Amino acid sequence: MVSRTRTARYARRRKRRMDAVEHDLSPEQWALLQEVWGGCAYCGATGVPLQRDCVLALSRGGRYTLENIAPACRSCNASKCNDEVTGWLRRKRLDERAFLVRHAEVRMLLAQQFAGDADDEESVVLEA
């Protein structure tokens, strides 16, 4: 029998959304993201477990990709929910400009890092 509780319905909807899109964030990319940010991307909290937060929420078309994930503390992740990031930052009185600039820097740095890794793999294949 299928559970009809609100929690079960939500879990089934989330699973369908997650299965409908391609997620390509590798564990190595996630580890590097956490290291580069050095804490919560929103409030800067350190020494707390970090969760994957979609800058553009899954319910708004986001995916778990290197460009769309920011490490967030539990409090920020739960508070943001599926809100648009800039509006949420303003409501929480967090530094919107600092986040956007840092997010762009991190995206460029990691794109270069992982593009270099892809080039290395291609050259190994070409040499073989």
Nearest to 85 by CA among 72, 96, 93: 96
Q: What is the mean pLDDT of the chain?
A: 84
Look at 17 and 81; give whichever has higher pLDDT. 81
pLDDT band for position 9 (cuts 50, 70, 90): confident
Task: Report the pLDDT averaged over residues 4-9.
Answer: 85
- The whole-angstrom separation of Cα 78 and Cα 91 is 14
The helix-helix angle for 96-127 and 27-37 (nearest 10°) equals: 140
- The whole-angstrom separation of Cα 69 and Cα 47 is 19
Q: Would you list the domain boundaries of the chain?
A: 23-127
Q: What is the pLDDT of residue 21?
A: 63
pLDDT tens-digit readout, 21-49: 666 888 999 999 999 999 999 999 999 99
Task: Report the pLDDT averaged over residues 14-18.
Answer: 72
Q: What is the pLDDT of residue 45?
A: 95
Domain 23-127 has CATH 1.10.10: no
Q: What is the pLDDT of residue 122?
A: 43
Q: What is the pLDDT of residue 117?
A: 59
What residues contact residue 25 under an 8 Å CB cut-off, 6+ apart?
52, 64, 65, 66, 69
pLDDT tens-digit readout, 70-90: 999 999 999 999 999 999 999
Task: Report the pLDDT averaged over residues 61-74.
Answer: 91
